[in-house]
Amino acid sequence: MPSVDALHSPIDRDPGVEGRRRWPLASAVSDRHRGPLPAGTPATVLRRTADLLGAPRVPSTGVGESAALDLIAGLLDQDGIDLSHPHAAAHLQPPVLQVAVDADALASASNASMDTYDSGPATLAIEQWVVQALAGMAGFGPTADGVLTPGGSISNLLALLIARDSAAAAVGIDVRADGLHGLEKPVVFCSEFAHFSVQRACAALGLGEDAAISIQGDADFRMRPDILADELDKPGRTPVAVVATAGTTDYGSIDPIADIAALARERGVWLHVDAAYGFGALFSDRLAPLLAELPAADSVTLDLHKIGWQPAATSMLLVADRDRFAALGRSVDYLNPSDDIDSGLDGLLGRSLQTTRRPDAVKVATTLTAYGRSGLGRMLDTCHELAHTAAARIVADSNLELLAPVTLTTVLFRVAGPGLAADGLTAGQLDAVQGEVRRRLLTSGRVLIGRTRIPARGGRPAAVALKLTLLNPNATATDIGELLDQVVATGHDVLSCEGAA
């Protein structure tokens, strides 16, 4: 089991990188020589953990606090994930700052809820401070407001709920009271590279997944405004919202928000920007210009459990006009009766679909206060530089092929090229190689990388890609080089097996 000290990474200077700060990142894994994942097949690892827990029943008597904590901590130490490892680079799932973990424990200890004043006064003020601070960073004015949510998918759902009710109200329909009856074919427009939560939100809101109209992207994986304009003007539909993406999951690409906003504004359509990944660029002086057009949005999703290094989940929905939250407003006799609201005893019940809602803003406020914009910006700049370093190494390596340019911190590539004996493989066989390389690396426990599929573009067929999502500000160029060395070595092993077969 890791000791308390093992959960803390010291703030010091990396002797391998002159003058570079090492950030205090938390981990539940004490073995610094272990990889980011436990070695073994998923079945073996899961069975081992389950066996140590014992039969799946609530025990009649407990073992005591210390023994229980030792047991669970031991399970996480042995078979958990170590996101602080420099070879953990699969998803938008960063290592977390120790100060955020400590602050999250304070939030849990308070057991405050955000629905009413008498459920947690200090935490209400803290959330409102965080919301206003981040709304200001986004470029929104004094009428802006927001709410923390359990994840970007829920933030997108709330945004589209508000947009749906606004579109219906514009034609005299009260969806909250009467449902969708009478609203002619409501649709939502998003890029073909938008997050799948858009389709899920459409289904949850009664529009159906087919209501999400996919707009083709350009060669840089950004929504094409010309195609959007044509789709917006097709008759027989009610445009509910346009969802632009600022930081696509696979590419980090950012849609042309200003052009999209102009089209939406001309037609009176809600513009939501899913900046779950990209919002953190605003912490960096170097990358903030990528989001200069964000103030044109009606609402924005941001996830600080991505670029923000917060424990999951720490998402937020920002709206440019706080009155738009009226769609969620509710007065309940046992929580917030009208006379209590008039007396200032209201909370944030009318900002969310949740009633009980934990005070996630506590860890955010602590982190922002501890490091400021500049500190978080330096962390992001390091990750951005690592992504470019990885891309340069891939281009220079005859065993690897870069598949997309770097925008934020993701790198798409595959094992292929003259350095590998892959010339005789079909496209399908080469795709299979990528999947096998990733699976071997994962089950070895040494390297954790992602995968995706790049669509056909410019005469090039669709292809399975390997993916690095670099969000560890303590990782170095040497770490990334070693990671890629293992990818190449595993690629040779897979191909040698293919040849033998």
Express each pLDDT in 308-360 by its tens digit.
999 999 999 999 999 999 888 888 878 888 888 888 888 888 888 888 999 99
Supply the mean pLDDT for the chain: 93
Alpha-carbon torsion angle 400, 406, 410, 412, nearest 10: -30
The low-confidence residues of the chain, meaning pLDDT below 50, are: 1-18, 500
| Distance separating alpha carbons of residues 257 and 245, to the nearest angstrom | 8
Q: What is the CA radius of gyration of the chain?
A: 24
Among residues 337, 306, 314, 171, the alpha carbon closest in space to that of 238 is found at 171
pLDDT of residue 338: 85
DSSP 1: -
- Residue keyed to tokens 């900002």: 351
Q: What are phi and psi of 293, to 5 degrees?
A: -90, 0
Residue 113 and residue 119: Cα distance in Å, rounded? 5
- AA identity, residue 472: N
Which residue's entry shows tokens 């939030």? 107
Helices (H), 187-323: 197-204, 225-232, 257-266
Contact 161, 211 (CB under 8 A): no
SS3 state at 231: helix
Residues with Cβ within 8 Å of residue 154, at least 6 apart in sequence: 315, 353
SS3 281: helix
- Residue from 138, 407, 145, 406 nearest 292 by CA: 138
**What 3 state SS string does 85-154 have?**
CCCEECCCCCCEEHHHHHHHHHHHHHCCCCCEHHHCHHHHHHHHHHHHHHHHHHCCCCCCEEEEECCHHH
Backbone angles phi, psi at 33, to 5 degrees: -100, -10
In the beta sheet, which residues pair with residue 149?
A: 315
What does the angle CA 127 – CA 133 – CA 139 come to, to the nearest 5 degrees?
A: 135
Residue 118 structure tokens: 């008498």
The pTM score is 0.93
Check residue 64 and give left, alpha or beta (phi > 0: left; psi -120 to 50: alpha).
left
Cα distance between residue 108 and residue 278, in whole Å: 28
Cβ-count burial 37-63 (b if 16+ within 10 Å, e if not): bbeeeeeebeeeeeeeeeeeeeeeeee
Tell me the C-alpha distance between 466 and 431, whole Å.
10
Can you count the helices (H) and strands (E) in the chain?
13, 16
C-alpha 501: how far from its chain's center? Answer: 40
Query: How many angstroms separate the CA atoms of 322 and 313, rounded?
Result: 23
Q: How far is CA 416 from CA 183, 421, 427, 428, in A?
A: 51, 8, 11, 13
d(CA 252, CA 408): 5
- Tell me the residue type at 27: S
Q: Which pLDDT score, from 0 to 100, does residue 86 have? A: 98
What is the C-alpha separation between 85 and 447, in angstroms, rounded?
9
Q: How far apart are CA 298 and CA 444, in angstroms?
A: 46
Neighbours of 343 (CB within 10 A): 10
User: Under a CB-based contact definition with an 8 Å cutoff, are residues 272 and 278 in contact?
Assistant: no
Within 8 A by CB and 6+ apart from 46, the residues are none
Residue 373: the pLDDT is 98
Alpha helices, DSSP H, located in 349-476: 361-396, 427-444
Q: Which residues are within 8 A (CB) of 64 and not within 5 positions of it... i.e. 6 or more apart?
A: none
pLDDT given at position 13 = 35
Containing H/E element for 412? strand 410-415
